[in-house]
Chains A and B, each alone.
Chain A
């Protein structure tokens, strides 16, 4: 019997991962996912370079930009095999999944030449500078200011970002800043690429309820970036920022689902070992979780098929709401499966993973658009319902 190209490809991925996710990288298996971001950051950066050498970063990007140009079906296979092998949480995901695709779509040729290779090679890491103390759900209220230095043409930034994931591990930050000082709301914003290692920038970690610090405050006090490091025109920052969020719902959602599937496996494994699986209520919830996972998978595949014409369909708007609520519930299920001593810390790695899962998933319905904002978007944009008063013109 002859194997299909996709089957051959699957074997190739699995074989490569088997051969490379070992030795010094062995300890990274299943590590560094959400809630575990501070696991071995340096080693995980080396792993990014190892992936790059094998041509396994940016697998969905077009070849002309250094990607592997895989079809959607093959990207799915890659993510499945990566998750199956226990591939570690990707340090490079903000570059590969968010800013890279944005630059490919909206960047200048010079920007693509300057920035895409570092992302593909796993040598330059990025973080996302959107939220500010007074701009969370109301992102358009960004107050960080950017002005041109008339002498050099450089952009000079003053202000503060907050909740910036992985800023302390990154070289670059993409910033939504107010370049028209007279402007309000989503006009007058610009989308800037700013190097983090400079005197005008201070990064302060924020300790999370997990006790670790994955996100940071980033302060700009006269920070500078070259004139050409603007994506789109001055004043087009909002449109670029929103387009970038669209990429968040790309193929990486399939990788995320594989990760979820692995977590559900861990929950089941724990339930079998400690006897929780004999409790009918737990059994019913595990079955429900499995059903939810399948629902997400079919919808993601449909969403990807629909995204090829460049338009996000209704289900894409709904996806964040669905997965985050599903995942939060999985976290609670994990805690209930752990049972009477669920809060007790131990060196059993499965228990630790499930506790991290529980704690981290408390934030799922908050970051990348809260539940409430997602529901407003679904109601207003997908269903065409009357807009909230906050969208009225002239009101801030």
Chain B
């Protein structure tokens, strides 16, 4: 595969980055954290104006019809700015589910255009996660039941809010009764779809973790340039420099792994699930290391509520455990590596 992105793709990423830099400053995130819903309709509609809700909705349904590869770059930015929103669940996961649903599913025609235009929020409930994110504000819930896909409105379910250490996560316990009326896709077709959702969600988490790792590194670099001890910036001490350089190495080496996974998903590569798990592990490791080193170079300041670092650390810790924690993804990689006939030799380097 080719690891370079097209100019158009990086230009789009840069535009999103500039947009988030002004619209999602940490002070603003704190304000959103404090609101009851934890979400900002204003931010969401601005994200829609940027075309993000339409990104992978097929053109026939009013979208832009882009792929996993375009998403991966955007997700890194969403992570870097720790965007507290269900954008990815709605516009990436739900869109994937609905788009790939059998053609006769009426819901598809109803919801894809609404998602593309930024008018709908959709929450996705997958059995790998004990709770469902953003269920209360959703206009539609797409839920797993024995590999079937069910569609409900939040009013048809009982939702209980369950706070997280990461205040930007809005998690709900859902009690509901599956029925013929709620079922929109049978198990035989649903099974593959739910696997596809898991892979995309794990890839989204991996890309966001990479973005978060980057952000925490940048915060560490900033702090160590400004903070003086012994009459010098602490960043001039070798011990501090080495901490942050270690993080940079981890991030640098995780990035192509994440991009590789996106490429595999976009192309339907047979090993895409293994690539995704690898990506989630590599990005998760980078994010954990970045959190650990960044708080260390922050000193006591990093342990405060006031320092922005805590917002990004909490997001990273929570994301790392969602959509399959490290044990889950390691098991998927191990099953492949130890499986019969796994191609591991030199001629399989680029698999």
Contacts and interface: CB of A to CB of B under 8 A. Distances in A.
Interface of A: 131, 134, 136-138, 141, 162-163, 206-209, 211, 215, 276, 279, 281-282, 328, 332, 335-336, 338-346, 355, 359, 362-363, 365-367, 370-372, 375-376, 390, 395-396
Given A136-B300, A282-B327, A396-B231, A211 B317 contact: no
Contact of A163 (B162, B296, B300, B317): B300
Interface stretch (B81-89, B104-112, B135-143, B164-172): B164-172
B165 A340 contact: no
A281 to B, nearest CB: 7
Contacts of A162: 300
Contacts of B229: 134, 136-138, 141
A281 B234 CA distance: 37
Contacts of B128: 340
Nearest to B164: A343
B300 A359 contact: no
26 contacts: A134-B228, A134-B229, A138-B229, A208-B303, A209-B304, A276-B327, A279-B327, A339-B321, A339-B325, A339-B327, A340-B325, A341-B130, A342-B318, A342-B321, A342-B325, A343-B166, A343-B169, A343-B318, A344-B130, A344-B162, A344-B164, A345-B162, A366-B299, A371-B296, A390-B230, A395-B231
B237 A372 contact: yes
B303 A363 contact: yes
Interface string B239-261: 11000000000000000000000
Interface of B: 128-131, 162-166, 169, 171, 228-231, 234, 237, 239-240, 288, 292, 295-296, 299-300, 302-306, 310, 313-314, 317-318, 321-322, 324-328, 330
A173 to B, nearest CB: 17
Contacts of B130: 340-341, 344
Given A137-B230, A344-B171, A209 B303 contact: yes
A136 B321 contact: no
B327 A281 contact: yes
Contacts of B305: 207-209, 211
A18 B290 CA distance: 45
Contact of B322 (A340, A367, A371): A340
Nearest to B234: A137
A359 B166 CA distance: 12
Contacts of B230: 137-138, 141, 390, 396
A163 B165 CA distance: 23
A366 B295 contact: yes
A367 B326 contact: no
Nearest to A391: B230
Contacts of B165: 343-345, 355, 359
Contacts of A281: 327, 330
B321 A341 contact: yes
Contacts of A346: 162
B284 to A, nearest CB: 11
Nearest to B243: A372
Nearest to A372: B239
Contacts of A372: 237, 239-240, 296
A206 B304 contact: yes
Nearest to B310: A209
B296 A366 contact: yes
Nearest to B307: A209
B162 to A, nearest CB: 6
Given A137-B230, A138-B230, A370-B296, A345 B327 contact: no
Contacts of B296: 365-366, 370-372
Contact of A209 (B237, B313, B321, B327): B313
Contacts of A206: 304, 306
Contacts of A276: 327
Nearest to A211: B305
Given A138-B230, A281-B327, A336-B326, A341 B304 contact: no
Given A134-B228, A136-B229, A396-B231, A345 B164 contact: yes
Contact of B327 (A332, A336, A362, A367): A336
